[in-house]
Amino acid sequence: MKRLLILAALLLAGCAATAQQPQGQRPRPQQGQQPPQGQQQPRRPMFDPTNPNAHDPVMAKEGDTYYVFTTGNGVTVMTSKDLKTWEPAGSCIPQCPAWIQEKLPNFRGNNFWAPDIIFYQGQWHLFYAASAFGRNTSVIGHATSPTLNPQSPDYKWTDRGCMIQSVPYRDMWNAIDANIVIDENGTPWMDFGSFWNGIMMVKLKDDLSGVASPEEWRNPCRRERSYGLDDANAGDGAVEAPFVYKHGDWYYLFVSFDACCRGLQSTYNIVVGRSKSAIGPFLDMDGKDMAIGGGTCVMKGNGTDYVAVGHCAAYTIDGKDLLVTHAYQATDGASKLVVREIKWQDDWPVLEW
């Protein structure tokens, strides 16, 4: 009888703990934590062709087809003919490359983050991150393909290995969220980063195969980090997801401030600064350098449709300037693909819901 009473008490305690978890929300790890081991994964939602789920989207157009690449297993891809109706199109890297397992022995699966896509020197270059949430045990990888069209006989993603790696207590930056920009002299740079000491830039080799020698680094955007934090801690200087976009005579650095990945509690918002050089300094509308905390907010949650928005990319395609981003739906916190046309006022981007 005593054993039965103890068992009943444990079951009641378990029910009480379950009841405290909001319905429809999966608990997410805090900075520096891993998801609970053995936790049952929620059933994946059905693909909605007119309102697809997406996280960290980037976009390209080849022929008459738009391709969006997002965080997901193998880097998830979807396609559209009109930017309104989307179809799932598989993934680019179905198996984790061996070099990632060597550099990150604790990395499991092939859930790659925050891709970037660029057509350069006759082929498509895909960059992506492997990491642990809230830690700078991270690498940025590189793959290439002659075409984006899976139906083409030339379609094949070839692994090009590691671009950079961040290591706790060695680096005060995080090797995720890569973006490639070609500067005014034709030199390629990779901007990247999340938290720690903010956004970094490094000069690349002319063929994008790795970091140029001698190395040249920049720190074009950062937010104040509380003094005394452990160097392995992501910290509270919440800035990530850089994207440099050229419009007219200006280069614009878009970044995301505040918290992603928290569903309805997300506070993501998009800020910008501009420069006549692709590597900065980038100043906001008040003339404050983004390297010392500047940044003008150009898009945030509207409170009715979306609670937060961030991790954007910008393009000129078919004569239109487009911003591609993800936003957290106000009904359930789901991360959704959002594409909006960029308007301009006094050479500053204007974005509307």
Per domain, the residue ranges of the chain are: 57-350
Cα–Cα distance for residue pair 234/173, rounded to 1 Å: 9
Q: What is the mean pLDDT of residues 334-339?
A: 98
Catalytic residue among 56, 116, 191, 289: 56
Tell me: the pLDDT tens digits for 284-298?
Answer: 999 999 999 999 999
Q: What is the mean pLDDT of residues 178-189?
A: 97
Active-site annotation holds for 56: yes
One-letter amino acid at 297 equals C
Helices of type H across the chain: 2-20, 98-103
Tell me: the pLDDT tens digits for 17-71?
Answer: 333 333 232 233 333 333 333 434 445 568 999 999 999 999 999 999 999 999 9
* Closest alpha carbon to 35 in 116, 99, 129, 111: 111
Which CATH code for domain 57-350?
Answer: 2.115.10.20
With beta carbons less than 8 A apart as the criterion, state whether 272 and 298 touch.
Answer: yes
Residue 27: per-residue pLDDT? 32
Tokens 């891709």 correspond to 115
> Which of helix, strand or coil describes residue 309?
strand
Cα–Cα distance for residue pair 259/223, rounded to 1 Å: 13
Cα–Cα distance for residue pair 260/35, rounded to 1 Å: 16
Q: How confident is the model at residue 214 (pLDDT cuts 50, 70, 90)?
A: very high
Tell me: the pLDDT tens digits for 228-276?
Answer: 999 999 999 999 999 999 999 999 999 999 999 999 999 999 999 999 9
- Residues in contact with 42: Cβ distance below 8 Å, sequence separation at least 6, in sequence order: 26
Return the number of other C-beta atoms located less than 10 Å from residue 155's C-beta: 12
- Distances from the Cα of 303 to the Cα of 23, 176, 200, 307, angstroms: 21, 29, 32, 5
Q: What is the mean pLDDT of residues 153-166?
A: 98
* Closest alpha carbon to 300 in 273, 260, 334: 260
Residue 159: per-residue pLDDT? 98
Residue 164: per-residue pLDDT? 98
Cα–Cα distance for residue pair 81/152, rounded to 1 Å: 17
With beta carbons less than 8 A apart as the criterion, state whether 240 and 177 touch.
Answer: yes
With beta carbons less than 8 A apart as the criterion, state whether 175 and 200 touch.
Answer: no
With beta carbons less than 8 A apart as the criterion, state whether 240 and 194 touch.
Answer: yes
> Which of helix, strand or coil describes residue 303?
coil
Selected residue with higher pLDDT from 141 and 20: 141
Catalytic residue among 191, 240, 284, 289: 240
Cα–Cα distance for residue pair 114/105, rounded to 1 Å: 20
Max Cα distance, the chain (Å): 81
With beta carbons less than 8 A apart as the criterion, state whether 87 and 49 touch.
Answer: yes
With beta carbons less than 8 A apart as the criterion, state whether 286 and 274 touch.
Answer: no
